[in-house]
Structure 1
């Protein structure tokens, strides 16, 4: 448990340190990102209460929040959230709140969400089954879980097994879990979800970041 806390702290330091450069970086696949936004907007009701985990500097939240009733965007990096709040001050969006938090740290008084969004997030968590179960508990009955995250298990083994460990060892990369698209889908299903859609939104080829829409179908508290 101590090692887990130390490693999590190192992840926070990495993202805090990287926050300003991250905010300045361009979206690599603008067409694919636009497709993801459009599909997500179509799934979110105007009266919905939405939670975004790993919101970074708030780019996606600022584009989606104006179409729903409330939108809580969270990240465990205080520096990322500080930049997001700067953006919000420039472009006020009713119902949007940025908060430094993880899924595990959110209090019960946040209420049940109609949708939980995780973009480029699940590969960064250290306990994927635990995080998915926590997301399940934060959703209202039959709420939607929407994810788009790199599946490193489907990528070039040289990057996954050689380059990434070296970069992490010298502090140039954060922790990143390795799972395939099939393994991710199985983990989501085992956490009590029914997968409704699995799409490739990359403008060209396959970037191994499946866009997944899943519905909460099992209430573990009643099982």
Structure 2
């Protein structure tokens, strides 16, 4: 059986270049998740993903997402479940934000609009990466964040703040799913990732040693190996 195409959806606050380290072997389709002038709702990005599949004549794809990208994958699953052949959910969660988390997102959105993104790397990098990040990885994280449009960073924060709980959607999905998480992920820790894998009817769990919240950037070889091995086992 031929494998389904793999669509990878990036984390916040990055763009599709975060997948550069896994492109050679995974051969993914990637997009830059952009809100533009639309209302801040991840359904808008989900619609973009479905439109991309339509343009390419793809009936069903394996959707992979890291952090915010995972939320987008869940939005696609809610919107068009028949287009999803499998899921790769990395460093993400099923639940909606708490009131505190939502308030923090909205505060960051307002500050980015007022001040730009220059302050963002120093504010978020330590929380995104493992305890001893490689200098090249840290530099790449800073570079990608500083390249983002402040309006899009603000849009993404507001869209994530508004997202619903996806637990029921994931529990109803019959497709194979791989849940990956960094050993040192402080934002969506391994215990939460194990719960996510347990929600999924056909979920597998992989913990990536040494990594934090950005497993594809921090440990691209381990991420690639896990995804390829899982795809071979489940046949998607």
Alignment TM-score, normalising by the size of structure 2: 0.42
Between Structure 1 and Structure 2, the one with more helix by share is 2
The structure with the largest strand share of the pair is: 1
